[in-house]
Structure 1
Amino acid sequence: MPSTFLKLLSPLVRVMPEVKAPDREVSFKEKAIWTLVVLVIFLIMSHMPLYGVDPSSGTDYLWAMRVILASTRGTLMELGIGPIVTAGLVMQLLSGSKIINVDFGDPEDRALFTGGQKVLALFMTAFQAMAYIMGNAYGALEPNEQVIVFIQLFSSGVIVILMDELIQKGWGLGSGVSLFIMTNVAGQVVFNMFNVTEFATVIGEAPEGYPQDYTNLPKGIIAAVITNIMRIAGIGGDAFPAVDISWLVFRNGFNPSLFTLGVTFLIFGVVIWLESVRVEIPLQYAKYRGMKARYPIKLMYTSNIPVILAQALYANVLFFGQII
């Protein structure tokens, strides 16, 4: 029987927008197409700036957590997956501690729990959007500007929730949350490799013996290496001389370098290896005359969930602090 808490959420669950679960077997090709559609929408939202705000003003409270939360500063994906993860965390804690009783074997209970999680995600989207505005994340905004920014953040949050539900209901591949994080991380890696934005050294930090105050090399490390090789070979008619390879190994500030690129691929390799490691637990069946078997469990059984939950929890504490 559904708990009182879930019964109270029931009227809201009924009026919530919902993605219907497929009533047939969805082919791999169709799942791949829907997954691609979701990724394209996510990428568009990640690059579409918020109307009426200046991202360079105010304070970026989430700068250290944007990779984990699949968030992009000053865009429709400002809040990222934070509301979804927070709602899931709260509901799981409530059910795990038996504060609310949920029978996951009962379809009605399971549907109410999932719907309640979506309702809570909407509340968290509104809460975080208000905290961002009240915390002057974009500087001091006029009342009409605050309303416009809130509508944009809330609407984009609803779209993210529905896209996550689309993947979770079986129309796509994998998990919506993991898919958004993967897309965000992959996009940043590719951007830091091939970004052709001109990069200039700070005056006084040019390589020793380098006559210019500015290197004028691209910010992306692969693009910078290619441009430097072209300068050495005299291709392209670049007026700037080539730099020593040591300058590309360690670049100043947070700019990508050959060292950081190597560390990135090293971490990729370690994570892939850890994901493939299995721990075999010996089992013995008394019912079958002591027959022995081994049950394999992934070493990284919890995957990235603890990191995501910790970052989401910290982000909400930060948001709450901005309101009070």
Structure 2
Amino acid sequence: MVFDEKIVYTIASAAIYIGTAIPVNQVFARYDTKVADPFYWLRAPFGAYYGTLLEFGLLPIITAGFLWQILAGFKLVKVNFTLSRDRELFQSLQKFTAILLSFVYASLLVFSGHFNTIDAGLNKEFPETVSIWTNLLLISQLAGFSIVSTLMVEILDKGYGFGPGILAFIAASSATNFATGFLGLTTVLNNKGNWESNGAFVNFVRGFFSKNLVANIYNAFTRENLTNLTQIYVALFTVGVLTYLSNFRSEIPIKSLKVRSMVSVYPIKLFYCGALPIIFSYAILYNLNIVAFSLTKILPEVDFLKYIAVYKLDTLNGHYDLDSGLLYFLSPSTKSSNVLFGLIRPFTFLGFLILSSLLFAKNWLKVSGSTGKDLAKQFKEQEITLVGHRDTNVAKELNKILPVASTTGAFALSSVIGLVETSGLSKGFALGTSVGVLSSLAVLESLMTVWQQSGGASSQFAQVFNPNQ
């Protein structure tokens, strides 16, 4: 059964992706060492896990996809998407670019000392000298599993599962992160030499059975080395706001050209572009930070780089924080040695998210082939039209609604995410949860469409979607 096979392929691919988040060889040599992460606030929307084979997650694939779609949309490369050969070459170029980017990312981080470990007890970085063979081993691991991720995304995009594959993996990664952050039962050794639970709620409950009750309960809401309850509440609040906003839509009356009495509505959602605008904004930030961090470590003697970014190691919590430089103003970092910088940063960060998201949403309709003209063509192929309008005016009417929906949705999404993240209470957790929920809704929409159009009623999973059968 095609429908059942797609479900199996989707679940299996997502499980394999999450399962490859295992430590990179030569990094976690002892249980009491870990990597100081400069990208902890950027990882969630890309299914990336520091110090693991999914160090970059889906970033290379997403970056390559955006890059080639923009080049094609602005006619900088000529692609005729009506020809299967052109489509295949275009998709191959995206995959090749993703693989190339994964090698570039891996090389930059390995030779910048990103994988040097810090001691959980001594709270210091080990600037040990690593052999060239160890570096090559690290690069081959990271790039190799990035290739595997690219191929798994390709499997879902080719119709073997419910896609887009990128959104399916983001949804799976987000769900895993939320479950682990809330109810994770595993324990880790903190910098004070004590064991604490990964799950914020589990750690909160354990605090009631400890000797220092007040301190442990306070820690459950404020700890920075792991997910805390404040992050959980902020994430749930953000998801609630976005879920409420996602119910806003414009319903356009349509009718069938075959059956005159058949009248329905075509909904255009507020989040017409889904989570893509905010993913685009954070993809820019992630790429900029990878390059900036690598250069500041490889070329520490170049004074000019301090105007780009200055990263300071937070030994207590085991990660790097942006302290100054241009990228500091494009981050939610609340730590800076300059008070004035700290006052300006919330506005510059929020402004960047809104402007980049709006720019993306404004041009994505043309880039992705989702303009009123394209939708009107689909209507014509399905022999439906807008009520009260001639066929020649359908594209014109749709072009009055689609750009407004895409830009308004992008503004609402980026504003909510930006306000939450700039508060410093989320540290990327609310962002990842929100992007995961929006991505899962897109995958669910794809699933339900296939179920309705391909005879899903005969599926073994039919009872899940229609229990009355």
Name the TM tier (shorter chain).
0.7 to 0.9
User: TM-score with structure 2 length normalisation?
Assistant: 0.52
Structure 1 residue 99 displacement after superposition: 1.0
Q: 1:260 to 1:121 in 2, by over 3 A?
A: closer
Structure 1 residue 136 displacement after superposition: 1.6
Letter in 2 for 1:51: N
Letter in 1 for 2:200: I
CA RMSD of aligned residues (A): 3.3
User: TM-score with structure 1 length normalisation?
Assistant: 0.73
1:181 aligns with 2:174: no
Q: 2:247 aligns with which of 271, 276, 299?
A: 276
The residue aligned with 1:22 is none
Structure 1 residue 93 displacement after superposition: 1.4
Q: Distance in 2 between matches of 1:200 and 1:148?
A: 29
Q: Distance in 2 between matches of 1:171 and 1:255?
A: 37
The residue aligned with 1:151 is 140
Letter in 2 for 1:179: A
The residue aligned with 2:182 is 193
Q: Distance in 2 between matches of 1:155 and 1:113?
A: 22
Q: Distance in 1 between matches of 2:189 and 2:52?
A: 24
1:31 aligns with 2:2: no
Q: Distance in 1 between matches of 2:107 and 2:7?
A: 36
Q: Distance in 1 between matches of 2:289 and 2:191?
A: 34
Structure 1 residue 246 displacement after superposition: 6.7
The residue aligned with 1:227 is 206
Q: 1:76 to 1:250 in 2, by over 3 A?
A: closer
The residue aligned with 1:234 is none
CA contact (8 A) 1:59 1:136 kept: no
Larger % of helix: which? 2
Q: Distance in 2 between matches of 1:57 and 1:242?
A: 28
Q: Distance in 1 between matches of 2:226 and 2:136?
A: 36
The residue aligned with 1:81 is 58
1:134 aligns with 2:123: no
Q: Distance in 1 between matches of 2:34 and 2:196?
A: 27
Residue correspondence of structure 1 range 221-300 to structure 2 within 5 A = 221-227=200-206, 231=209, 240=211, 242-243=213-214, 247=218, 250-253=221-224, 255-281=226-252, 295-300=266-271
Q: 1:109 to 1:77 in 2, by over 3 A?
A: same
Letter in 2 for 1:157: S
Structure 1 residue 36 displacement after superposition: 1.7
Secondary structure of residue in 1 paired with 2:20: helix
Q: 1:110 aligns with which of 87, 110, 129?
A: 87
CA contact (8 A) 1:199 1:219 kept: no
CA contact (8 A) 1:221 1:248 kept: no
Q: 1:58 to 1:76 in 2, by over 3 A?
A: closer
The residue aligned with 1:10 is none
Deviation string, structure 1 residues 95-134 (Cα, Å, up to 9, x no partner): 1111111111111111111111111111111111111112
Q: 1:269 to 1:131 in 2, by over 3 A?
A: same
Q: 1:198 to 1:136 in 2, by over 3 A?
A: closer
The share of aligned pairs that are identical, in percent, is 25
The residue aligned with 1:21 is none
Residue correspondence of structure 1 range 4-23 to structure 2 within 5 A = none
Structure 1 residue 312 displacement after superposition: 1.8
Unaligned runs of 5+ in 2: 117-128, 256-262, 300-469
Q: Distance in 2 between matches of 1:312 and 1:227?
A: 38
Unaligned runs of 5+ in 1: 1-25, 204-213, 232-238, 285-291
The residue aligned with 2:461 is none
